[in-house]
Chain A
């Protein structure tokens, strides 16, 4: 039986991290477009925050703290908590909630909904990283970025430079992390067939990153 050193395990952790970063970056582009085009406000969340939300959900699923198929309640609680954090990230929302105007606060800051989506995507990645799913995410996600980009550029108004700057970084992060994750996930799948494990033949990180 093949044994893995600590370094091998750490390197093996790159794949889930990259897959989650790609998910966060894709959602960040959507969030930035929605925030700039519909709310006409500066984006408050970015790739880091959304990826962290997805990562928390992934860790919870990986550690079997929750299992949506067995018991939906912890899963829904986690999504609710993430959505609440994302929603309350906006100071205006916090102010309205603290002042008791819950109805007024509800339509504000769509970041909460995107945090919920990030949590759902994270649970999926935590259970299993399927090379086909990651590849599909990248290959369909790249042209699909045209939708938030078109919306953002057409409707952002004065916030267009802000949108461009934020969305550009998130888009490049998505493409880079997504392609590396898809390549590594495929190598894991291939490794089952060929016996070549990229974690012990780290040169494979080069071509994937390249």
Chain B
């Protein structure tokens, strides 16, 4: 009980004892005014609903995502001032708004304020400018209501978790030398894998051949069971291994070149799209800190329709912090990818540290390809090519933001 309330109560008691109606009146008014000043901080937050609606939980770099914030006062008591501090990842951009500082590390506050009458509902239409790749989290939201008189406030926090995944942009992949066709399936003299689009005749049926491979018409003509035969190919299974380290030196220094990291993500996503559209099974391997806490990621090659989305989601989660040296990361390849598959290494730095590992994988039966981006791509390509690795340069000109294609060249 505050001093003013005690004073009011005392005035009522004295007024009643002395028979002074004036003191009774003033005591009553004092109690009433004190009750009135804290009315909103006591009851203001009751029956207030707050909703945040994202137009989509996924976006591609450069998209604009609608974001609606709805607040509804579902009671008779009007609320003079309601402030909602919606904690969001501090790199999130809202068109026409600036995030306020937050006491939570890595988060800013999307601040909205309203005056709400009885049963009033207000919807604010905002737009998220997805001009940064990554995972953007929303929530919790801190609701603060203020009294109409004095400056008393009351707050409560509500968990309203939501997430927006901004995938890297993708661009068409072009070859600097179309005749050499740096990407796509290529014929092979021998491989464990065949390409069903490259029909190469029939052969005698062997026990174990899948029933769908039997050529029924030829069998009817020849009078004996025959199976379809396809050309052996490489690059049916392609694993894109992304070297996230962009600055020379030990990986634990955690130095990075933001533009190079984004360029690697754009290049990886674009390559994956191209490979998947070409019918290859594509996977992803990277050793970087991922949003959500994982330290490295391996996505097995697949040609499923949803694979491109999975790869882009994984690329969206990458943070530019290297958690595993790339040469060590390449060590997991033999345990994850069958020989005969293609390892496509994507890097933005001198490959000397992991050249040995690439050579060993090449000798183990993998088709190893190396593509390098960045200003020194030609020099890095020469180093890899000098070690006998099929190496390419990958160019995003003028930058990963404006490039209209990823140009691969030997």
User: Does B29 contact A145, Cβ atoms closer than 8 Å?
Assistant: yes
User: Does B4 contact A186, Cβ atoms closer than 8 Å?
Assistant: no
Choose one: A167, A187, A193; the contact of B22 (CB below 8 Å). Answer: A167
Give the Cβ gap from B105 to chain A, nearest Cβ, in Å: 27
Q: Which residue of B lies closest to A187 (CB)?
A: B80
Choose one: A152, A196, A198; the contact of B114 (CB below 8 Å). Answer: A196
User: Does A143 contact B4, Cβ atoms closer than 8 Å?
Assistant: yes
User: Does A204 contact B78, Cβ atoms closer than 8 Å?
Assistant: yes
User: Does A194 contact B115, Cβ atoms closer than 8 Å?
Assistant: yes
Q: Which residue of B lies closest to A135 (CB)?
A: B149
User: For the complex, is A175 an interface residue (Cβ under 8 Å from B)?
Assistant: yes
Chain A 192-206 interface mask (CB, 8 Å, partner B; 1/0): 011010100101100
User: For the complex, is B248 an interface residue (Cβ under 8 Å from A)?
Assistant: no
Chain B 126-158 interface mask (CB, 8 Å, partner A; 1/0): 000000000000000000001011110000000
Q: What chain B residues lie within 8 Å of A204 (beta carbons)?
A: 78, 115, 117
Contact residues of A: prevailing secondary structure: helix
Q: How far is the CA of A196 from the CA of B73 in the complex (A)?
A: 16
User: For the complex, is A190 an interface residue (Cβ under 8 Å from B)?
Assistant: yes
Within B35-55, the residues touching A (CB, 8 Å) are 36-37
A-B contacts counted at CB < 8 A amount to 90
A150, A187, A191: most-surrounded residue (chain B CB, <10 A): A150
User: For the complex, is A139 an interface residue (Cβ under 8 Å from B)?
Assistant: yes
Q: How far is the CA of A191 from the CA of B33 in the complex (A)?
A: 23
User: Does B29 contact A142, Cβ atoms closer than 8 Å?
Assistant: yes
- CB-CB under 8 A for A194 and B81, given A142-B30, A145-B26, A167-B22: yes
User: For the complex, is A31 an interface residue (Cβ under 8 Å from B)?
Assistant: no
Q: What chain B residues lie within 8 Å of A138 (beta carbons)?
A: 33, 149
Q: How far is the CA of A146 from the CA of B36 in the complex (A)?
A: 19
Q: What chain B residues lie within 8 Å of A149 (beta carbons)?
A: 20, 22-23, 25-26
Within A169-210, the residues touching B (CB, 8 Å) are 171, 175, 179, 182-183, 186-187, 190-191, 193-194, 196, 198, 201, 203-204, 207-208
Within B6-34, the residues touching A (CB, 8 Å) are 7-8, 11, 20-23, 25-27, 29-30, 33-34
- CB-CB under 8 A for A153 and B20, given A145-B26, A145-B29, A179-B36: yes
Chain A 132-152 interface mask (CB, 8 Å, partner B; 1/0): 100100110011011001101
User: For the complex, is B304 an interface residue (Cβ under 8 Å from A)?
Assistant: no
Q: What chain B residues lie within 8 Å of A167 (beta carbons)?
A: 22
Choose one: B27, B30, B80; the contact of A190 (CB below 8 Å). Answer: B80
User: Does B33 contact A150, Cβ atoms closer than 8 Å?
Assistant: no
Give the Cβ gap from A27 to chain B, nearest Cβ, in Å: 16
Q: What chain B residues lie within 8 Å of A187 (beta carbons)?
A: 80, 115, 148
User: For the complex, is B160 an interface residue (Cβ under 8 Å from A)?
Assistant: no
User: For the complex, is B204 an interface residue (Cβ under 8 Å from A)?
Assistant: no
Choose one: A145, A146, A183, A203; the contact of B117 (CB below 8 Å). Answer: A203
User: For the complex, is B113 an interface residue (Cβ under 8 Å from A)?
Assistant: yes
Q: Which residue of A lies closest to B151 (CB)?
A: A132
User: Does B149 contact A146, Cβ atoms closer than 8 Å?
Assistant: no
Q: How far is the CA of A152 from the CA of B114 in the complex (A)?
A: 45
Q: How far is the CA of A146 from the CA of B10 in the complex (A)?
A: 11
User: Does B33 contact A164, Cβ atoms closer than 8 Å?
Assistant: no
Q: What chain B residues lie within 8 Å of A132 (beta carbons)?
A: 151
User: Does B8 contact A143, Cβ atoms closer than 8 Å?
Assistant: yes
Give the Cβ gap from B340 to chain A, nearest Cβ, in Å: 65
Q: How far is the CA of A190 from the CA of B146 in the complex (A)?
A: 10
Q: What chain B residues lie within 8 Å of A139 (beta carbons)?
A: 4, 33-34, 37, 149-150
User: Does B29 contact A171, Cβ atoms closer than 8 Å?
Assistant: yes
Q: Which residue of A lies closest to B116 (CB)?
A: A196
Q: Which residue of B lies closest to A178 (CB)?
A: B33
Q: What chain A residues lie within 8 Å of B23 (beta carbons)?
A: 146, 149-150, 153
User: Does B113 contact A179, Cβ atoms closer than 8 Å?
Assistant: no
Q: Which residue of B lies closest to A210 (CB)?
A: B78
Q: How far is the CA of A203 from the CA of B113 in the complex (A)?
A: 18
Q: What chain B residues lie within 8 Å of A182 (beta carbons)?
A: 148-149
Q: What chain B residues lie within 8 Å of A203 (beta carbons)?
A: 117
Supplied contacts A135-B150, A186-B149, A190-B81, 20 more A-B pairs, CB within 8 Å:
A139-B33, A139-B37, A139-B149, A139-B150, A143-B8, A146-B11, A146-B26, A149-B22, A149-B26, A153-B20, A168-B22, A171-B29, A179-B33, A179-B149, A186-B148, A187-B80, A190-B80, A194-B113, A198-B115, A204-B117
A-B contact pairs, 20 of them (CB 8 A): A135-B149, A139-B33, A142-B26, A142-B29, A143-B30, A149-B23, A150-B20, A153-B22, A175-B33, A187-B115, A187-B148, A190-B80, A190-B81, A190-B146, A193-B81, A194-B113, A196-B114, A204-B78, A207-B117, A208-B148
Which A residues are within 8 Å of any B CB, using their own CB? 132, 135, 138-139, 142-143, 145-146, 149-150, 152-153, 164, 167-168, 171, 175, 179, 182-183, 186-187, 190-191, 193-194, 196, 198, 201, 203-204, 207-208
